[in-house]
């Protein structure tokens, strides 16, 4: 009888660990991207250190193209008077939390999967 209880406990513990691995995989998939807006497109003479006039942070599972980010941010860009997405840069969670309002960020779904 003791063996059955141990086996059952082992299976339950195994299930918990398996669920934990899936949860950790889900957490690790979430990435942070700074999307930069400006009124002028970037030219050949711009380098990676040039930034847009305004930026937001989005959560995603994959890096969006500038075109995808522009389509997603279109309404916000129009409201703020910007014409172009000039950069999409992956940043870490710490940087996102330092420079952007990330309250409830983990509750939001990723924008790009």
The pLDDT tens digits for 45-80 are: 566 666 788 888 998 989 999 899 999 999 989 999
CB 63 within 8 A of CB 34: no
Residues 6 or more apart in contact with residue 36 via CB below 8 angstroms:
51, 52, 53, 54, 55, 85, 86, 87, 88, 89
d(CA 98, CA 113): 24
The pair of three-digit structure tokens given for residue 5, joined into one six-digit string: 């209880």
β-pair type (84-91, 31-38): antiparallel
Quote the pTM value: 0.67
pLDDT per residue over 75-101, tens digit each? Answer: 989 999 999 998 899 999 999 989 988
């Amino acid at each position: 009888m003791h063996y059955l209880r141990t086996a059952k406990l082992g299976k339950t513990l195994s299930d918990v660990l398996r669920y934990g691995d899936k949860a950790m995989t889900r957490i690790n998939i979430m990435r942070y991207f700074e999307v930069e807006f400006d009124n002028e497109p970037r030219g050949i003479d711009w380098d990676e250190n040039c930034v847009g006039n305004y930026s937001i942070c989005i959560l995603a599972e994959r890096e969006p193209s500038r075109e995808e980010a522009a389509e997603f941010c279109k309404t916000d860009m129009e409201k703020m008077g910007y014409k172009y997405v000039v950069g999409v840069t992956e940043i870490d969670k710490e940087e996102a939390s330092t420079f952007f309002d990330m309250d409830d960020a983990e509750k939001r779904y990723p924008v790009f999967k």
